[in-house]
Amino acid sequence: MLRSVPVSQANLAHSYEVSGDGRMVIGFDWRWTSTNGLQDLSSIIRPRSIAPDSATVLGAFGGRAILLDPSGEVHDVAELLSQQFGLTFPGWQLTDIVGMSDDGTVWAGNGINPQGFPEGWVAVIPEPTSSSLMALAASAWIRRRR
């Protein structure tokens, strides 16, 4: 069955990715979810990809790489990698995040290297990843419930 989602703006006409479970589709500056329908994300994030949890949007905004978590909270990727996992990128500006491995241990994106040139970056998350990601999700859930 083909399902049509009406759009009112030209930039909503292009889809970029659908989550593995089919519950989310992202485009230029929007997302569609099976529970919330079409949402304008133009003031929050420029989506690039969907995380393996099928609920987190990966992308960029304001020249920095960001994640939009399921509760609607925005996280700066460089800060998140530093605070949660102890990873730093001295002299780098992480400008977007475009993908994440299925197990969450490898993140990739684009940035500006210390010499001032555009270049891709890869972050390999040290173990134990699942408990660290669970702690992040739990902290977001606790903040949302307050």
What predicted TM-score, i.e. pTM, was given to this entire model? 0.77
Query: 33: which strand partners?
Result: 24, 37
The three-point CA angle 105-110-115 to 5° equals 120
Q: Where are the domains of the chain?
A: 10-145
Q: Give pLDDT tens digits for 42-97.
A: 999 999 999 999 999 999 999 999 999 989 999 999 999 999 999 999 999 999 99
Q: Give pLDDT tens digits for 111-142.
A: 999 999 999 999 999 875 455 555 555 544 44
- Distance between CA atoms of residues 98 and 45, nearest Å: 12
